[in-house]
Amino acid sequence: METLSENTAFGGVQGVYRHRSEACDCDMTFGLFLPQEAQDGPVPVLWYLSGLTCTHENAMTKAGAQGWAAEQGIALVFPDTSPRGEGVADDPAYDLGQGAGFYVNATQAPWAPHFRMWDYVAEELPRLIDANFAIDPERQAITGHSMGGHGALTLAMALPGRFRSVSAFAPIAHPAGSDWGRKQLTAYLGADETAWAGHDASLMMRETGFDGPVLIDQGGSDQFLDLLKPETLAEALAARRQEATFRMQKGYDHSYFFVSSFMEDHVTFHASALWA
Amino acid sequence: METLSENTAFGGVQGVYRHRSEACDCDMTFGLFLPQEAQDGPVPVLWYLSGLTCTHENAMTKAGAQGWAAEQGIALVFPDTSPRGEGVADDPAYDLGQGAGFYVNATQAPWAPHFRMWDYVAEELPRLIDANFAIDPERQAITGHSMGGHGALTLAMALPGRFRSVSAFAPIAHPAGSDWGRKQLTAYLGADETAWAGHDASLMMRETGFDGPVLIDQGGSDQFLDLLKPETLAEALAARRQEATFRMQKGYDHSYFFVSSFMEDHVTFHASALWA
């Protein structure tokens, strides 16, 4: 593992690291914020999964999360959104291929060999971080924005016991019923929709739910509301009697101005679960 | 004036606007954050001047200032750092020409016709904002980073009564004695150093000082310490008996991770003066 940069931030350290990923069979880069408390021992960790077109860097520089994480004494992980590099398949569209891994293990050509973001985020990167940094693997939580909100919700429900809490900013809430989803799930997993069931937050919420608290924020003026399908998730949350808060935030759009506006609430929400 | 974007943020609006600048004889773009309170009447305003290579956008997306400004009910202005466009002179170096206006009115070719950032920030943009937005011109404060810290300090001292408080993050504190300054002041103002006197924060602090409180934060691990010359400004502040706080922040570098780490302190500092 190679250190690309380390900057002191809010009394802690914002690092960027590169490593050879077995899951994705390419070099992968991630950001990790460690609060000051990590100098004295393992700290809880909040995963932040990013959206379409993002790298590890967007949320790390624009979401305003480090200050709140420092206040709560928790670490933040910012993974990339897909495998990358010359040997990795890509597509001219912004919403397929590099920058658009959708947090699944692709089974279809040409994506299958590298696009294994599920294994990367669920297995490989947690092991790597646990082995190299002062992180407490028993205290993990997860959040994300847009495609990353989809990733956070589906991972949290598929891995019971792993995450104490889950939240999302404007998640792609029902990819199996949206043009943000059907195209990508078909490309990565094939046209047989039974293979998609573990990758749709609304369907999973109806079937299994999450064994902890859930927080969803959605901008009421989000330009992608028709693609995100928050109503499907809201219905599923209520039908499941899931412990959850779903907030439609009047006037907010899909940007990081929206994400940063509610970041304090999300970090505080997770800290309550992580320090309980 | 043209609205390029408006995003709801922290209960207010982060806007980006473009207008024809007479001072710079080109189109100029700026960011303006208005807190919710601006819907009910004029609010105080904090100017944020950016550093080398930045546009209006860097601090607007990475400094984490809007949340604190919203909490204090004050507006934020994010001007660009130079004139721009095809007809505007430039230089291959990152620290001269476009992105490096140094907040002076150039008198030398080829810079003279467009590079009038002093007049733009001191006169034209304040008038434009006052005429178009709910800003209280009697309650203004100013801050900035690096080259923008230089701009903030020199403007504040040159315009007594304009700003109630001034602060800076890692300012270029003594450009007349630094390679970040001598090159640019020579290019824009000519080799006669008497023309530089109004554009060096340390020299101005020794001569006149500022009629209000001053806050300076400097990273102790800043990679540009030799160019910034904080020791010259610290000496001048003390020699002048200036009401000031100068902080050397151990471990911090020159990045926006440093700026955002102390943004709460700066906004709170200015709010005290603005609401007094």
Number of CB atoms found within 10 A of residue B130's CB: 15
Percent of chain B with pLDDT over 90: 100
Whether B27 sits among the annotated catalytic residues: the reply is no
Whole-angstrom distance, CA of residue B97 vs CA of residue B95: 7
**Cβ separation A11–B261 shorter than 8 A:** yes
The answer to whether B252 touches B219, Cβ cutoff 8 Å, is yes
What distance in Å separates residue A56's CA from the closest CA in chain B? Answer: 15
Residue given tokens 């602090």 in the structure block: B205
Q: Give counts: helices (H), strands (E), chain A.
A: 10, 9
Specify the amino acid at residue A21.
Answer: S
Per-residue pLDDT of chain B (276 residues; tens, 9 = 90+): 999 999 999 999 999 999 999 999 999 999 999 999 999 999 999 999 999 999 999 999 999 999 999 999 999 999 999 999 999 999 999 999 999 999 999 999 999 999 999 999 999 999 999 999 999 999 999 999 999 999 999 999 999 999 999 999 999 999 999 999 999 999 999 999 999 999 999 999 999 999 999 999 999 999 999 999 999 999 999 999 999 999 999 999 999 999 999 999 999 999 999 998
A171 backbone dihedrals φ, ψ, rounded to 5°: -70, 150
* Half-sphere exposure of residue A101: CA atoms within 13 angstroms, side-chain side: 30
Distances (CA, A) of A60 to A123, A126, A190, A262: 22, 18, 33, 15
Residue A118 has a pLDDT of: 98
- Pairing relation of β-strands A135-144 and A43-49? parallel
Distances (CA, A) of B87 to A23, A116, B90, B110: 50, 48, 9, 11
What distance in Å separates residue B62's CA from the closest CA in chain A? Answer: 5
At A107 the three-state DSSP class reads coil
Q: What is the mean pLDDT of residues A67-76?
A: 98
Top residue of B39, B257, B263 to mutate, by most chain A CBs within 10 Å, is B257
Tell which residue, A70, A33, A214, A49, has the closest CA to residue A143: A49
**Cβ separation B258–A67 shorter than 8 A:** no
Number of CB atoms found within 10 A of residue B179's CB: 11
ipTM of the complex: 0.85
**Cβ separation B66–A257 shorter than 8 A:** yes
Residue A121 has a pLDDT of: 98
**Cβ separation A257–B219 shorter than 8 A:** no
Residue of A7, A67, A255 with shortest CB distance to B7: A255
**Cβ separation B66–A260 shorter than 8 A:** yes
Q: What is the mean pLDDT of residues A91-117?
A: 97
Q: Strands, DSSP E only, in B84-229?
A: 135-144, 166-169, 214-219
Residue of A66, A67, A261 with shortest CB distance to B9: A261
Tell which residue, A216, A263, A272, has the closest CA to residue A244: A216
Task: For residue B173, give both structure tokens.
Answer: 């504190």
Specify the amino acid at residue B49.
Answer: L
Residue of A14, A64, A253 with shortest CB distance to B67: A64
Q: What is the mean pLDDT of residues A122-138?
A: 98
The answer to whether B46 touches B137, Cβ cutoff 8 Å, is no
Residue B2 has a pLDDT of: 98
Cβ contacts (< 8 Å) between B61 and chain A: which residues? 61-62, 256
Task: For residue A137, give both structure tokens.
Answer: 């693997």
Tell which residue, B178, B260, B185, has the closest CA to residue B225: B178
Top residue of B4, B6, B7 to mutate, by most chain A CBs within 10 Å, is B7
Q: What is the mean pLDDT of residues A174-187?
A: 97
Residue given tokens 């408390």 in the structure block: A37
User: CA of A256: which chain B residue's CA is closest?
Assistant: B61
Residue B108 has a pLDDT of: 97
Cβ contacts (< 8 Å) between B219 and chain A: which residues? 8
Residue of A8, A67, A252 with shortest CB distance to B252: A8
Helix, strand, coil: what percent of chain A each, to 5? 40, 25, 35
Note the residue count of chain B: 276
Residue A56 has a pLDDT of: 98
Q: Which residues of A are catalytically annotated? A: 146, 222, 254
